[in-house]
Amino acid sequence: MFSKRQSMQIIAIVMAAALFVAGCGGGATTADSQNQTAKIGVVSFLTGGGAAYGEAIRQGLELARDEINAQGKVKIDLVFEDSKGEKNEAINAVNKLVNKDTVVGIVGPTLSGELFAAGPIANQAGVVIFGTSITAEGATDIGEYVFRNSLPESLAIPHAVKKAHQKYNLKKVALMYSNNNDWAVSGYKSLDKAARELGLEVVATETFADKDTDYSAQLTKIAALKPDAVLVSGLYQEAALILKKARELGLDVPFVGSNGLNSPQLAKIAGKAADGAIVASPWFAGKEDAGVQNFVEKFKAKYNGKVPDQFSAQSYDALYIIASALEKSGSMSDRQKFRDSLAAIKDFTGVTGKFSFDEKRNPVMDATVLIVKDGQFTELK
């Protein structure tokens, strides 16, 4: 047994030791936050009909990850899950990343419909879900943990329609859209609104479905009405087939598209028929900007001469935005601190230009209107 005096001395020593450890622990927490690896989940469309979108996103993320990790300020581990472009697969992937992999945040999914299905799960769990290709209206209305750096269709599409109107003196247009795709329906509404606000006559509205292959009936009706342009909301695979059939029918007018047309795959599938397709994008690989051209060269060097598209560029910027937020939060694993730090991002300069989040966690940035010419996207002037 100890005397009262000895007991008091032991207590004092223990308290002093505890304070010392606590002090060291505080410093260790800061050091650990610098040395820990942040685990970021990725839900991407990697197999199936729209896999080119997911592959481009994966490549942009991996290039950014390698550069960020080499810089040493933040370490990031990417955990990929393939959604196959299916809502249920996206839901399963988000559940796994949130509950089993305990990621601090998620990039993706690729399609807006996937986000509307899986986003509420991440939001309820208090995990950031960050869209790099999500353009449908209302995406961030899902909740406070939903972010995107992809320009909404409601902001990009009016630029494209207005530029086409000015360039080609449009007076009447026809519309086509995929009616079983949430994102495409949203894009159609933006196309229709933009056309009507410019005083254009909408002579026809035709629908199709994702994975359709025959568009003869819709385009025959449209061709008979002789529109000055056709406005299309769909993914590149369907849009390319629409363009091929339209040219076969002699419908040789500009096609103004939603964000789905903004892929090199459009021209690869449609060939010469893709010429005259118009889109608006914050990304243009031919931009005379040192940062843009440096990124293009690094991307080409890593991926066998492949030129980065919009989806690669936006995912590349997204991971740098995420890294900046993680660094400022002081933690590689605290989901709440990461979310709050991300929401505060302002005036970030990336390869897609100057970027900030607005109060609804949507991007504030400019768009460039592009046209396919000789199989390549170039600025429409």
Using DSSP's 3-state secondary structure scheme, residue 149 falls into coil
Cα–Cα distance measured from residue 17 to residue 381, given in angstroms and rounded to the nearest whole number: 71
Order of strands, sheet of 348-350, starting from the edge strand that comes earlier in the sequence: 348-350, 353-357, 363-364
Tell whether the torsion through CA atoms of 47, 237, 183 and 143 is positive or negative.
positive
State what percent of residues in the chain have pLDDT above 70: 91
Query: Could you tell me which CATH number the domain at 154-281 has?
Result: 3.40.50.2300
Q: What is the DSSP string of 40-62?
A: EEEEE--SSTTHHHHHHHHHHHH
Using DSSP's 3-state secondary structure scheme, residue 102 falls into coil
pLDDT range class, residue 35, cuts 50, 70, 90: low
Question: What topology is assigned to 36-151+288-366 in CATH?
Answer: Rossmann fold (3.40.50)
Please state the pTM of the whole predicted model. Answer: 0.83
State how far the alpha carbon of 286 is from the alpha carbons of 142, 153, 163, 289, 351, in Å. Answer: 35, 22, 19, 9, 12
Cα–Cα distance measured from residue 14 to residue 271, given in angstroms and rounded to the nearest whole number: 77
What the block records as the tokens of 306 is: 């492949």
What the block records as the tokens of 31 is: 């050091």
State how far the alpha carbon of 176 is from the alpha carbons of 6, 83, 111, 203, 234, in Å. Answer: 87, 26, 19, 11, 8
User: Are 341 and 322 within 8 A, CB to CB?
Assistant: no
Tally: H helices and E strands in the chain: 12, 15
The strand pair at 353-357 and 363-364 is best described as: antiparallel
Residues 184-215 have pLDDT tens digits of: 999 999 999 999 999 999 999 999 999 999 99
* pLDDT at res. 3: 46
Q: For the chain, give every residue range classified as CATH 3.40.50.2300.
A: 36-151+288-366, 154-281
* pLDDT at res. 27: 34
Q: Which helix (H) or strand (E) holds 267?
A: helix 265-270
Residues 290-331 have pLDDT tens digits of: 999 999 999 999 999 999 999 999 999 999 999 999 999 999
Residues 139-156 have pLDDT tens digits of: 999 999 999 999 998 889
Residues 85-117 have pLDDT tens digits of: 999 999 999 999 999 999 999 999 999 999 999
User: Are 365 and 150 within 8 A, CB to CB?
Assistant: no
Helices 182-197 and 153-168 meet at what angle, rounded to 10?
40
Residue 82 vs residue 2, higher pLDDT = 82
pLDDT at 4 over 50: no
What the block records as the tokens of 314 is: 């936006």
Mean pLDDT to the nearest integer, 264-272: 95
Other CB atoms within 10 A of residue 224 CB = 12
